[in-house]
Amino acid sequence: KKYNADKSAYDVVDFRVYQFTTTTLTADKGESSDALKKRQAEADAKVKKNAEDFAAAAKDEASFLAKAKELNKDTKDYDAAKSTKMTSQLKSSVQSNLSEDVAKWLFDSKTAVGSVKMFTSSDKKTFNVVLLTAAGHQEDTVSVRHILFANKDAEGKALSEAEIAQKKKDAEAAVKAALHKDAARTQ
């Protein structure tokens, strides 16, 4: 019932994204403002065309990755599989990191896994090519908290046996308190 009331709080997507961003040019020595505007428009158009070409070439995940690798062939240690992958993203996360339009498209039930689309930012300076790789409900969710009781000091030196024994007692007391608090909440 809770899930059906707000599916976007639980559903997640996996996708790949490759971003193209324009660069603001500065005037060359003696260049007029009209000439700079023209050069800027040409540079922006080239970035947009590169994004459009990427989107057209990305027919599936393999071709998406191949195109990303091709564009980064001169980048040492570039890993397209890692660099473009976004895993288990909630709609709110996609909205804040990319855009509301990207989130709507990724979470639309009509968008099929394997679909590719290019999105242009409102200022027309960024172009995101997005490939949906998986979508669905995050069935087994858990909330986790932790407290670290370090056995080394701030400089990385090991604590004494007595200090470690005290840290262990402190950790056991924290676990006991957390279990007590959790038990009180469920009653």
Task: State the DSSP string of 124-185.
Answer: S-EEEEEEEEEEEE--S----------SB-TTSPBPPHHHHHHHHHHHHHHHHHHHHHHHHH
Spatial distance between the Cα atoms of 68 and 133, rounded to a whole number of angstroms: 16
Q: What is the pLDDT of residues 99-149, one digit of tens each?
A: 999 999 999 989 999 999 999 999 999 999 999 998 876 555 555 677 888
Question: How much is the pTM?
Answer: 0.70
Q: What is the pLDDT of residues 19-43, one digit of tens each?
A: 999 999 999 999 999 999 999 999 9
Q: Please, are residues 15 and 119 in contact by the beta-carbon 8 Å criterion?
A: no
pLDDT tops 80 at residue 186? no
